Amino acid sequence: MNVAVRIARYESRDVSRGRWLVVYVVLLFGLAQTLLALEADTTRALAGLINVVLIVVPLVGLLFGTLHMYGARDFNRMLLAQPVGRRELFNGLYAGVALPLAGATILGLGLPLVVAALRDPSALAGVARFLAVAVVLTLASVSLSFLTSVAIRDRAAGMGVAVLIWLSLSVLYDGVLIVAASTLPSAALERPALIMTLLNPIDTARVLLLMQFDGAALMGYTGAVFRNFFGGATGSVVAFLTLTAWIVLPLLLARRIFRRSDL
């Protein structure tokens, strides 16, 4: 069996035994079930759950991935003393963290949503898109957490940077965009707003989720620009490709640093 697969299996079992993962699943399940109970329409419940995906999912991925990598330093040194390559070790570590997190996201959100969609088949496509975006955003946030932890050796500083990344992408970004929208003419802001959307995985995920609902006002300024510029189907493809790039590019950079760093 491949070394990376063995490491991933070991890491997955270790992560899955943690109580925090159970708490995470219960939290997502409770939020989804509550909104489904309050809303008679599954589609409206999905709209209410968007903020959960955009806030909770990347925060958990960033914090847990960063904490896990700092905590695994002794384990990494021990494995590297064996005939284990750094590339295989890194790939196994990422899979061992990202896959249980993605599974917890699917279980916590997917179980109540799929049950609701079976009663309302018209919402099945929306539920599938919602879960796909949640999983991709989970993988992207774990990639960013790995990049943070391998680039910054100090644990406290790394955790601070992880929180700052989340704040910048979810909170400060909106403030900058509001200021820009209030000071610049709309025509001059369209292309910069489009670029800003692509440079922010959380905003890209928000646009991708909201594009399935009617009403441009619900999507916000960047969402309206994105929809007008790309159109429906093309915009969805570009958004998914952008989110995929947010998984791959930070991960490749993190692996490059990991292979050259002094553990």
Cβ(113)–Cβ(131) under 8 Å?
A: yes
Cβ(61)–Cβ(142) under 8 Å?
A: yes
| Residue percentage of the chain with pLDDT more than 90 | 35
**Could you give the 3-state DSSP secondary structure of residue 207?**
helix
Check residues 168 and 47 and name the one with the higher pLDDT.
Answer: 168
pLDDT tens, 11-51?
888 888 878 889 999 999 999 898 888 877 777 888 888 88
Tell me the residue range of the domain where 51 lies: 3-260
Structure tokens at 135: 């999983």
- pLDDT above 50 (res 218): no
User: Which helix (H) or strand (E) is 107 found in, with range?
Assistant: none
Separation of alpha carbons 205 and 152, rounded Å: 27
- pLDDT above 60 (res 214): no
Lowest mean pLDDT across 36-45, 134-143, 180-189? 180-189
- pLDDT above 60 (res 247): yes
Tell me what the mean pLDDT of segment 126-153 comes to.
93
String of DSSP letters for 25-91: HHHHHHHHHHHHHH-SSHHHHHHHHHHHHHHHHHHHHHHHHHHHHHHTHHHHHHHHTSS--HHHHHH
Tell me what the mean pLDDT of segment 77-89 comes to.
84
- pLDDT above 50 (res 106): yes
State residue 5's pLDDT score: 86
Check residues 209 and 253 and name the one with the higher pLDDT.
Answer: 253
The chain-wide mean pLDDT, for the chain, equals 84
| ∠ Cα 17 19 22 (to 5°) | 95
State residue 217's pLDDT score: 44
Structure tokens at 23: 């708490």
Give Dmax (Cα) for the chain. Answer: 60
Helices 42-71 and 111-119, axial angle in degrees (round to 10): 160
* Number of domains present in the structure of the chain: 1
Separation of alpha carbons 1 and 51, rounded Å: 41
Cβ(182)–Cβ(214) under 8 Å?
A: no
Residue 261 backbone zone (phi > 0: left; psi -120 to 50: alpha; other: beta): beta
State residue 216's pLDDT score: 45
State residue 141's pLDDT score: 95
Q: How confident is the model at residue 144 (pLDDT cuts 50, 70, 90)?
A: very high
